[in-house]
Amino acid sequence: MKEFDGKVIRVDGNRVVLDQTAFNPRGGGLVSDLGRLGDSNLTEVIKENEEVIHLVNDAAPFRLGESVHGVLDWNRRYRIMKMHTTAHILSAIVNRETGALITGNQISPEESRVDFSREAFDRDKLTDYIKMANKVVSRGVPVTTYFMNREKALATPGLVKLANAMPPAVTELRIVQIGDVDTQADGGVHVANTKEIGEIQVRRTENKGKSNRRLYFTLR
Ligand SMILES: [Zn+2]
């Protein structure tokens, strides 16, 4: 969804809360969406206590109960969707091939990174993993989402990677499945088909601590 209408339910300084929104807030390693809300520009979108807060450059025009039109910066959002889906693919392949776990990630429109718990990355092996990832991209694997009961999801090995980050009040978990490549509980934004990603390119790798390897990538 690139545009939507929402009703203003709170204005506090430069913070605006709507009854519904299509803007994805910062979180889970993803930078926030940007765009326009009414005649104001968004400086960031954040989430506090399960509430999405739109930070605007000018809150003066917003009136309680009035409807406003939101327009996403779609180029930015679409890059984030592609980058984030790529992180899933890379993580699944590296995990499958080496057993390494993902210890962090940062998804931005221009360049993203994933951290793996691994003492060393063989350069040839890394090239293989990227080839495998790009094969998933060109294979055109569908990305689907569905909801699953919390207990069932927690009982499925490997499905919930951040169990502690989920408030107990959440009884239904959103599951994101990239065909036969990766399945996990996830609230982020993804493309509908891996073909949309284009081509994955690794920029560089870094050592971050004894057993932490950071991999920077971009898309062409
Ligand atoms: Zn995801």
Cα(151) to centroid of ligand 1, in Å?
20
pLDDT beyond 70 at 21: yes
Cα(60) to centroid of ligand 1, in Å?
35
Query: What's the token pair of residue 181?
Result: 């490549």
Q: Measured over all CA atoms, what is the biggest interatomic distance in the chain, rounded to whole angstroms? A: 59
Of 140, 126, 157, 159, nearest in space to 197 by CA? 140
Residue 154: predicted pLDDT: 87
| Structure-model confidence comparison of residues 207 and 201, the more confident one | 201
pLDDT beyond 80 at 113: yes
pLDDT in tens, 123-158: 788 889 999 999 999 999 999 999 999 889 888 888
Cα(218) to centroid of ligand 1, in Å?
17
pLDDT beyond 70 at 217: yes
Cα(58) to centroid of ligand 1, in Å?
32
Cα(205) to centroid of ligand 1, in Å?
22
How far apart CA 127 and CA 132 sit, in angstroms, is 9
Q: Which residues of 182-220 are buried (b: 16+ CB within 10 A; e: fewer)?
A: bbbbbbbbbbebbebbeebeeeebeeeeeebbbbebbbe
Average pLDDT of the residues of the chain: 92
Cα(210) to centroid of ligand 1, in Å?
27
Cα(177) to centroid of ligand 1, in Å?
9
Cα(63) to centroid of ligand 1, in Å?
35
Contact 87, 105 (CB under 8 A): yes
- Quick one: pLDDT band at residue 163, thresholds 50, 70, 90? low
pLDDT in tens, 44-85: 999 998 899 999 999 999 999 999 999 999 999 999 999 999
Of 29, 49, 23, nearest in space to 115 by CA? 29
Cα(71) to centroid of ligand 1, in Å?
23
| CA distances from residue 118 to 5, 77, 142 in whole angstroms, order as listed | 46, 31, 29
Contact 193, 178 (CB under 8 A): no
- Quick one: pLDDT band at residue 205, thresholds 50, 70, 90? confident
- Quick one: pLDDT band at residue 42, thresholds 50, 70, 90? very high
Q: What's the predicted TM-score (pTM) here?
A: 0.92
Residue 77: predicted pLDDT: 98
pLDDT beyond 60 at 207: yes
Cα(59) to centroid of ligand 1, in Å?
32
